[in-house]
Amino acid sequence: MDTGTNQRIKPITAETKEHLFIGGCDTVDLANKYGTPLYVIDEVTLRSICREYIEGFKEYGNIKMMYASKALCTSAVSKIIASEGFGFDTVSIGEIYTVYKAGIDMNSVLFNGNNKTQREIELALKYGVGRFSVDNFYEAELLNKIALEKNKTVDILLRLTPGIECHTHDYIQTGQIDSKFGFDLSQIDEIVYLIKNSYKNLKLRGIHAHIGSQIFELKSYHDEVEILIKEMERIKTVHNIDLDEINIGGGLGVKYTENDNPPSVSDLAKTVTESMKKYSGEIHTIYLEPGRSIISTSGVTLYTIGSSKQVPNGRKYVAVDGGMADNPRPSMYQAEYTADIANKINEPKNEKVTIAGRYCESGDILINDIVLPKTEAGDVLCVYNTGAYNYSMASNYNRVEKPAMVLVNNSISDIIVSRESLDDLISHDSIPDRLE
Ligand code: LLP
């Protein structure tokens, strides 16, 4: 079988010619034309993983794919993913507004999050968001109150904490018992009772959990499905409510380095559908919310190399024109990445260096101890697998403009997010008159 898209480090269209090419475009030309740092999204890779999800779960039939927008939310990316048959898992009114303005069917949008504000809930209802995943008692009461005022009935799922620990970084693990997200299993009866008897403007459709991110162990999904199905059956017995929808969240891992061995989407599909069949007599609608595995592999970041420093008897630091503000993952999670010198893609790799960012923090290191061809100022460094949680977590630290993003396909490149300008940076500032 071919390698699954999430099992590759590089985009599917990556080619070694005189330089590194992606989507038929010379990445060195992209760097020259659009400047660096530059996020590049390969459309073929993005569409291919979307199709693997749809194809992988086809046999089960009753499945709804919801892209977790938090991984990367832009108008063009939303358009592409919607055109592959996905809905959207959103976590803020900003994400909701982006998909709304991109013309997405709002019925296919789910609103998630542990502290949705009143304003967000009101606007989400105004934009016609199809489902809410209710996270806590406060939200249930607030949502019911707002829905009542607007004379609406809102379809909801209940977010649960299923008590599954998966081996991933602590900060990106969400389904364990001591978690800020969702109802503890011991609180389910109380919330279901309230919905049934008091919150008449909420229509309970199903349950929802998300056990973590960058998951490599399929057994976690098997256990999750078992717990969720048993909980649905228990709710039926105790409260006489038939639930049909089960949302198992996202989390499938990707391959950042040669040491990562994530399962493929088709392996995930087998585990989930087999455990659904094993534990559930009836056919339920399954929702999946993949974020990282959808967008990560399609994205790379191009940087230009500038200064370097050889520590006497120590490391050689090579600095690029970006770093922790466009990719906070290495400094936040000790995340590891793979990279090439795009203009020296055919040269032997014989120098071990550490790629440093340009931000004023010693911890702003993008890649420790990577072996590359001998680097010089002006070289273009391509860091792979930066599609997810890079732009979406980017900041303006050190008052640096956020990079542009281009979409490449068939030797064509188009800007899908323009580079911030210096005036963008000060556009929200104001100086009170008394300081003039
Ligand atoms: N559904 C829910 C409820 C989630 O909380 C998340 C991610 C997803 C779906 C999508 O998970 P994915 O398929 O992307 O693993 N910033 C971190 C990742 C945080 C994930 C938060 N929740 C990182 O850069 O690794």
The answer, yes or no, to whether residue 164 has pLDDT greater than 90, is no
Evaluate whether 163 touches 227 at the Cβ level (below 8 Å).
Answer: yes
Evaluate whether 172 touches 165 at the Cβ level (below 8 Å).
Answer: no
Which of 25, 73, 166, 360 is the catalytic position?
360
Task: State in Å: Cα 423 to ligand 1 middle.
Answer: 32
* Reported confidence tier of residue 173, pLDDT bands at 50, 70, 90: low
- pLDDT score for 163: 83
Q: Please write down the long-range contacts of 178-183, taking CB distance under 8 Å and 24 or more positions apart.
A: 180/114, 181/114, 181/135, 181/210, 182/114, 182/135, 182/136, 182/158, 182/208, 182/209, 183/135, 183/136, 183/158, 183/159
- pLDDT score for 363: 96
* Reported confidence tier of residue 165, pLDDT bands at 50, 70, 90: low
Q: What is the pLDDT of residues 28-73, one digit of tens each?
A: 999 999 999 999 999 999 999 999 999 999 988 889 999 999 999 9
Task: Of 419, 17, 55, give the one whose Cα is nearest residue 269.
Answer: 55
Task: State in Å: Cα 69 to ligand 1 middle.
Answer: 9
Largest CA distance in the chain: 73
Task: Of 4, 41, 2, give the one whose Cα is nearest residue 267.
Answer: 4
Nearest Cα residue to atom 19 of ligand 1: 172
pLDDT, average across residues 139-143: 98
Phi, psi angles (nearest 5°) of residue 320: -110, 170
Nearest Cα residue to atom 9 of ligand 1: 250
Q: What is the pLDDT of residues 363-372, one digit of tens each?
A: 999 999 999 9
The answer, yes or no, to whether residue 428 has pLDDT greater than 60, is yes
Q: What is the pLDDT of residues 233-257, one digit of tens each?
A: 999 999 999 999 999 999 999 999 9
CA distance 72 to 77: 8
Nearest Cα residue to atom 6 of ligand 1: 250
Q: Is the whole model's pTM more than 0.85, yes or no? A: yes
**Known catalytic residue at 382:** no
The answer, yes or no, to whether residue 175 has pLDDT greater than 80, is no
pLDDT, average across residues 189-204: 98
**What average pLDDT does the structure give for the chain?**
95
Q: Which atom of ligand 1 is nearest to the CA of 112?
A: 3
* Reported confidence tier of residue 171, pLDDT bands at 50, 70, 90: low
Task: State in Å: Cα 174 to ligand 1 middle.
Answer: 9
In DSSP terms, 320 is beta-bridged to 305
Domains of the chain listed by start with CATH number: 5-41+297-426 (2.40.37.10), 43-295 (3.20.20.10)
Q: What is the pLDDT of residues 308-358, one digit of tens each?
A: 999 999 999 999 999 999 999 999 999 999 999 999 999 999 999 999 999
- pLDDT score for 169: 54
- pLDDT score for 277: 86
- pLDDT score for 231: 95
In DSSP terms, 319 is beta-bridged to 356
